[in-house]
A and B are shown apart, each in its own frame.
Chain A
Amino acid sequence: MDEELALLPRLLTAHLGLTLFPLLAGTMLSVPLGVLSSRSRRVEHLVLNVGAVIQTVPSLALLALMVPVLGAIGATSIGYLPAFVALTLYSVLPVLRNTVTALSGIDRTLIEAARGVGMSPRERLIHVELPLAMPMIVAGIRTAAVWTVGAATLATPVGADSLGNYIFSGLQTRNATAVLVGCAGCAALALSLDGLGRMLLAGVTSRSRGITFTAAAAFATLYLYAGASLAVRAGAGQRDTITIGAKTFTEQYVLSEVLARRIERASGLDCEVKQSLGSSVVFDALRDGTIDAYVDYSGTLWTTVMKRTDAPVDRAGIVRQMSAFLRQHDGITVVASLGFENSYALAMRRARAEQLGVQSISDLSPVAGELSIGGDYEFFARPEWKRISEAYSLQFRAQTAMDSSLMYQAIEHGAVDVLSAFSTDGRIVALDLVVLDDDRQVIPPYDAVILVSQALARRHPHAVDALRGLSGRIDASRMRNMNRQVDIDGRSPRSVADEFLDGLAPGRGRSDRLR
């Protein structure tokens, strides 16, 4: 709990910045658009339809889409900017719709009166239409504020810190406290902003200077505070901090801490960990230098970055080819193989496997028609699954994609018979699962490798040397054990990483060549 609370001021501030500025930009965009729409039917239809389409894009996808979109126009595609753009778009619709509805709902007699007393269209807008529409516009802004607080949690995978850090990592590492802290933080923030909005509106409509001033001052303070902390963080980015990335699962959290602490211990440089990045986001972030290093897996890079569909032959060969490819195409250096593989594996509960007499994937094919399989969102869409199911001609009765943090519960309770697990997952041992033998060798090797950016290699060769020292230091059982300490024993990735580094005797490299 203390560890979670220690992060709260920083993440809450970051979340505030992710809410307030998109909200301001969204309002400044949608009120003029709403005014334009109220002047022309054609514009109204166009604008409202575009707004509605944006709203139907799931917020997670909208945020993730910003990364390639911004990348394509050459802007910073990771971190605050994509989140800011997506959340701004997301906050447009409620404000826009309320503005249009409020303006078109104004009594015709009053428009007539405004023209009759000699107002120009602009004066009519300022003195009559906007003041009369204001309560409804503010209601739209309050709706948008609550939505944005919620949607900002999804900024974590595109590399912007938010209260979503708690939720993403908490769900992955089964840390309910972290999830609760994240949710409570969001709820408190949403309620406070909404309350302040209501107070401001009440002050303005009742013409109470005191209330209006208090609420406006509170907003101004929040904006100044959030703006200042954004500026400070931007300044910190200029300073020499090394950023380590992590994808959204436990092993990545542990390894990112291992990398960060290793560099800190060896060089005294400041390291920061950016957790819970989307798996394509993290690679793009490394390429454009937003992060400096992270751990990826050879088989993943082979299929998703190198776009190879042929099965690679051996572990060493794939790492060699991949290193050359990444250096040449992306300026990325592969500094070390950690010494273990985390490959896709099909797993079953021991009792069920023994009952069916299944030991290898080949044994599965005659009985697959009776069984159901579960996997994470990615798995069934990946080329590896296509290759496995074709090579072993697997036709399951049912196939269910679910969140990777839930699929172990699903097999534990018998909701699925077979699981697409990760071979180093601590829960394989904890739940007494058996990994089925890939007897035809169709699953490619997934060596864990440390990738570093061009910038880091140039700026801090010393730090790169420190990472190279991790080569071959983590074998599969050690990795599984560390994962288990987080997932099952509830320890923090950081403390597990520290313990590992403490126990690392200098100079005793050992390569674990096979599982």
Chain B
Amino acid sequence: MIEARELTKSFGSIRAVEGVSFDVSAGELLALVGGSGSGKTTVLRMVNRLVEPDHGSVRIAGEYAQRRDEHVLRRTIGYVLQGAGLFPHMTVEENIGITPKLLRWNEELIARRVCELMRLLELDTALATRLPSQLSGGQQQRVGVARALAARPSILLLDEPFGALDPLTRDRLQQSFKQLRTELRMTAVLVTHDMMEAFLLADRIGVLEAGRLVQISTPREILMHPASDYVERLMDTPRRQAKVFDELMGGVSGG
């Protein structure tokens, strides 16, 4: 579904991304992980051309992304931002319905689609006429996902979508997103710095270090056979957390 080849991008004298290639097949979720400045967000943004690569190409369903009008291309790709990025002067329903509106769907169709998505994302329909500032963080992020899905995109891009939420809300949202994706069989690329999130949601994980893709594989493979010290260190935190948890649980059952 997505074929990225030799993507390279510099900002000024800083090389952000170098020679990154990967494929995402239909219905698959690829998580891009790595520390700050590893280039994961830049890679994501080159998929829907929010950033133009210096070299390399992206093909979506076989067609070169660079050959299409950029805003037309983006209407076929859902995009979820960190902190939702809802338009503060538009109501919830206007936010969700924006891409269909740009695509000139008729109003009735938009209204029906908004309603459907609010149900799907477990949003109370009474919120439809509220402004984003009147919603909780979790609700805002759900609206953000609904907005990305509104025009039935073939691909969903998510940039740290749950990063700004408290742990409980984040967990609830991750769970409902996992379920949603299975239902919709969405092709998706997710950028996250949270390894646990990647393990939970991804079919495959790509690890970026200083702009290069150092390993791309299934979560299990990465966990078992990290390709480098860097990847190994990324695993440390979740491993340590799991260990602490296991010990606590062991202590309880042993007592």
Contacts and interface: CB of A to CB of B under 8 A. Distances in A.
A116 interface: yes
A116 B50 contact: yes
A116 B48 contact: yes
B81 A127 contact: no
A110 interface: yes
Interface in B84-117: 85-89, 98-99, 102-103
Interface in B42-92: 48, 50, 71-76, 79, 81, 83, 85-89
Interface string A124-138: 000110011000000
Contacts of A115: 50, 71, 74
Taking each of A113, A114, A131, A132, which has the highest tally of chain B beta carbons within 10 Å of its own beta carbon?
A113
Chain B interface bracket (under 10, 10 to 19, 20 to 34, 35 or more)? 20 to 34
Nearest to A120: B71
A117 B79 contact: yes
B204 interface: no
Interface in A125-165: 127-128, 131-132
Contacts of B40: none
Interface string B146-164: 0110010000000000000
B98 A117 contact: yes
A56 interface: no
B71 to A, nearest CB: 5
A118 B99 contact: yes
Chain A interface bracket (under 10, 10 to 19, 20 to 34, 35 or more)? 10 to 19
Contacts of B102: 117-119, 123
A2 interface: no
A117 B147 contact: yes
A112 B88 CA distance: 14
Interface in B110-147: 147
Contacts of A109: 81, 83, 85
Nearest to A113: B85
Given A123-B102, A127-B98, A116 B81 contact: yes
A117 B78 CA distance: 7
Contact of B81 (A113, A118, A123, A128): A113
A241 B223 CA distance: 96
Contacts of B74: 115-118
Contacts, number: 53
Contacts of A120: 71
A116 B74 CA distance: 6
A113 B48 contact: no
Taking each of B71, B98, B99, B102, which has the highest tally of chain A beta carbons within 10 Å of its own beta carbon?
B71
B239 to A, nearest CB: 34
Contacts of B148: 117
Contact of A116 (B79, B88, B151): B79
Contacts of A116: 48, 50, 74, 79, 81, 85
Contact of A110 (B48, B85, B147, B151): B85
Contacts of A118: 71-76, 99, 102-103, 151
A123 B76 CA distance: 17
Nearest to A131: B89
Contacts of A114: 87
B63 to A, nearest CB: 16
Nearest to A204: B89
B90 to A, nearest CB: 8
A115 B83 CA distance: 16
Nearest to A121: B71
B88 A132 contact: yes
Contacts of A132: 88-89
Contacts of A123: 71, 102
Interface of B: 48, 50, 71-76, 79, 81, 83, 85-89, 98-99, 102-103, 147-148, 151
26 contacts: A109-B81, A109-B83, A110-B87, A113-B79, A113-B85, A113-B87, A114-B87, A115-B50, A115-B71, A115-B74, A116-B74, A117-B75, A117-B79, A117-B102, A118-B71, A118-B72, A118-B74, A118-B75, A118-B99, A118-B151, A119-B102, A123-B71, A123-B102, A127-B87, A132-B88, A132-B89
Task: List the 5 closest pairs (A to B, CB-CB), nearest first.
Answer: A118-B75, A113-B85, A116-B79, A118-B74, A120-B71
Given A110-B87, A118-B74, A118-B75, 5 more contacts: A116-B48, A116-B85, A117-B75, A117-B147, A131-B89
